[in-house]
Structure 1
Amino acid sequence: KEKFVNWLYTEKNHSINYVAKGLEVIRQFLAAARDQGLHENDYPQSKLFRQKKIPTATIALSREELDAISAVDLSEHPDGYEKARTLFLIGAYTGLRHSDYKRIKPEHISDGQISILSQKTRQQLLIPLHPNLEKVLEQCGYRSPRLSQQRLNEHIKEIARMAGITEKRAVYTSAGGKVVEEFTPKYKSVSSHTARRTFATQARIDGWPTTLIRAITGHSTDQQLDNYIDYDMYLAAVQVKDYFQKGKDRGLKIG
């Protein structure tokens, strides 16, 4: 294993997470082969066979940042920018995957909620219509605009930049087994996936039960959901709430 990993790093210059994912695929393949009696080697199932990943930044937007994106004047930009913003906001207020929020149409909406079958999991998802979501859907005729994911990712970064989402955050990358820390403006990390992560993070900040969040996002386990939470934002919000609560408990007048 070590020789193989070293070859992937030195000869192929692959990232740490790419190598870890590749080893996991090999491990699953060898496990299936063992179950079929093709070999008796248990080493691939041991912890020694696994490769640790480096943490990847999970970017979510605050409500203020969502409002700033909504307020950006796009009148002098091509139509694709407005489509990108509309799609992104639909994703941020529904928690759906891009493959689902890109295909919402009037038939999916009734009784104040969206009912849609997830393309990935084949689950029937029910999402209540947030007032801001209803406003966005009304403007586009309750039908998601058509735009490729590539264009959405390109345009939403520029819109986020225009909205002033420029705070620098640490981003970790790797090549050849070496980890590099870079500080880049937050808008550069905004993508179609950020919409769903924003929904999940804001729901956690508001104290929603994880079972309810998962019922909307379609995650199977709390661990899967945790991967979508921006814990820097979540913990900061929790600390602020705790600060205000302690102030109230002591009879302090805050604000």
Structure 2
Amino acid sequence: MIENEININGCFKMRVNFNLKNIGGSKSQIMLTTTINGERTRIYTGLLIEPQFWIKTSRTEIGERANENTSLGRVQCEYNHKINLELRKILGFCREYGVEVSQNHLAINHPMIHSKDNFETFVKSKIRGIEANIRKNPVEFINDYIQRKSKMVNKDTQRRIVSGTVYNHKNALRRLKQFCDENRLRIVWELFDARLEENFTSWMMDRGYSANTIASQYSIMKVWLTEAEIEGLIVNKAFHRYTTKTQDVDNIYLSEDEIQRIYNIDFSDEAIISQVDFKSSIEQTRDLFVIACWSGLRFGDWRDLSRADLTADTMTITTSKTNKTVVIPLHPLVKNIIQKYGGKLPMAVDKTHALKQIRKCGELANITEEVSLGRVIGGQTVIRREPKYNFIMNHTARRAFATNMYLRNVPSISIMAITGHTTEANFLKYIKISQSEHAAIVAKAFAV
């Protein structure tokens, strides 16, 4: 209960309450209400809340507030608790006003008379001071959002937001701060106008960021700025026009023969031992990567397969990103690896170290043919020609599975049931077949 009765040593008494005012959308404004000398007074507190989380009282009662019932979940409960803390702070302003009136109402030079105008002027100035501090500090607002993001639940999957998403948000804020530091710009809400996109994009292009990284930067920023817009902190609508369209990019896949060569690496061989850190977990990472190549799993799922339900012929797992349960038949190599670990598969190292180890496996497996891949970097198409193993990514396993199954003429709908793709358009982006391979497929059809 929020104590809404203000009594200053019997010299000043006042009853205030907080009510909601609908402004459209999911959230409503919280208004401070009271009656002074028969005049109804309403002051916007600067706070917003969804009506479903607000405890409403009858007309004869006071004490409306945010619901802090733990049944709402930890994240919402914490947010509501912060709302009530702010409301108590505003009540403190009302008490300060009461003290001013009780001490100065008889002053000869500057008497403080209790009136609607004086009350509104006093409290609004205090609230504006709080809002000004918030407005001056978008970084603090964004950091607070990212912290809450780590505790949020995806509305579609009802699962916690994956750690990779939080990492991307932190990285986007770091990039924005670096841009502002180098250009001596203050990060204020007025920064996010139409010119920012032009200047920020130019800065990222000069530093060699890819077109898709730039698009991702703006996609994340629009999430923050939309939240700030809801809170009434930003009024410039220009950020809604920031470009977030991604481009298809060149990627490799690994053929069945190349996957077999990676699987065949003998880490007990003296020649191999001399090229790797014997104490590292490279062999376990190799094994998990091979499993991923024959299961189509994302790194977030194959790095820890303890959640998987394994039978003699299938692996059943609920994917962390989409919350979809998929049933995957076990390839003979996967069965061998599971047997190797006695049915308890190891956990991979972090993404960065796993990638280094996988590329090393590609080198050890002699996947060294020269490959050319194009990227739009810094606004220009850049062609890199390097040994194929240098282009291997953690996600290459997923592309390898999709492509190899496609080449085996497995129906797309069956492959998608395992990869979890919901549209064929997105699925086909994973099919990484060269022009010569396309030609061979057509030639085979001609020969029938």
TM-score (norm 1): 0.79
Q: Secondary structure at the match of 2:395?
A: helix
> What does residue 62 of structure 1 align with?
255
- Asked if the contact 1:86–1:145 (Cα under 8 Å) also holds between the matched residues in 2, the reply is no
* Most deviating of 107-116 and 157-166: 107-116
Deviation at 1:158, TM superposition (A): 1.0
In the alignment, the residues of structure 2 paired with residue 35 and residue 239 of structure 1 have an alpha-carbon distance, to the nearest angstrom, of: 53
Aligned residue in 2 for 1:7: 199
Structural mapping, 1:25-104, within 5 Å: 25=220, 44=240, 50=243, 53-75=246-268, 76=270, 77=273, 78=278, 80-104=281-305
Q: 1:115-167 CA distances to partner (integer Å, 9 max, x unpaired)?
A: 11111111111001112221222112223222313222111111111211112
Deviation at 1:94, TM superposition (A): 0.9
1:193 to 395, 399, 405: 395
* Aligned residue in 1 for 2:406: 204
- Provide the rounded CA distance (Å) in 2 between the counterparts of 1:4 and 1:106: 44
Kindly indicate whether residue 407 of structure 2 is the aligned counterpart of residue 215 of structure 1. Answer: no
Pair 1:34–1:7, CA change in 2 (3 A): closer
Query: Residue 114 of structure 1 aligns to a residue in which SS?
Result: strand
TM-score between the two structures when normalised by the length of structure 2: 0.48
Show CA shifts across 1:12-69 (max 9, x none): 4352222222344456777899999x98979946xxx646645422221001111111
* Aligned counterpart, 2:340: 139
Q: Tell me the CA shift for residue 4 of structure 1.
A: 3.2
Task: Letter of the 2:301 partner, please give it.
Answer: D
What is the alpha-carbon distance in structure 2 between the residues aligned to residue 239 and residue 124 of structure 1?
36
Q: In 2, distance between residues paired with 1:40 and 1:9?
A: 19
Aligned residue identity for 1:240 = A
Go from structure 1 to structure 2 and tell me whether the alpha carbon gap of 1:185 and 1:54 turns closer, same or farther (over 3 Å shift).
Answer: farther
How far, CA to CA, are the matches of 1:101 and 1:26 in structure 2?
A: 30
Query: Once structures 1 and 2 are overlaid, which stretch shifts more, 160-169 or 19-28?
Result: 19-28
- Give the corresponding residue for 1:167: 369
Q: Does the C-alpha gap of structure 1 residues 157 and 189 become closer, same or farther in structure 2, counting only changes over 3 Å? A: same
Match of 1:129 in 2: 330
RMSD over equivalenced CA pairs, Å: 3.2
Q: Deviations over 1:93-129 (max 9, x none)?
A: 1111122222224961125111111111111110011
What's the secondary structure of 1:230's corresponding residue?
coil
**How far apart are the structure 1 equivalents of 2:444 and 2:403?**
20
Larger Rg: 2
Percent identity reads 25
Question: Partners in 1 of 2:321 and 2:307 — Cα distance?
Answer: 21
**CA 1:245–1:73 in 2, change beyond 3 Å: closer, same or farther?**
same
User: Structure 2: how far apart are the matches of 1:211 and 1:2?
Assistant: 43
How many equivalent pairs are there?
Answer: 243
Give yes or no for the alignment of 1:18 onto 2:219: no
* Aligned counterpart in structure 2 of residue 226 of structure 1, from 412, 428, 434: 428
1:178 and 2:380 correspond:
yes
Deviations 1:176-229 (A, max 9, x none): 433322212110111221111100111111222222112111222222222322
Are 2:321 and 1:117 aligned? no
Other structure's SS at 2:360 match: helix
Distance 1:42 1:80, change over 3 A: closer
Structure 1: runs of 5+ lacking an equivalent: 250-255
> 1:175, 1:115 → 2: CA distance?
39
Closer, same or farther: CA 202–175 of 1 in aligned 2, 3 Å? closer
Separation in 2, partners of 1:32, 1:224: 29
**Partners in 1 of 2:346 and 2:312 — Cα distance?**
22
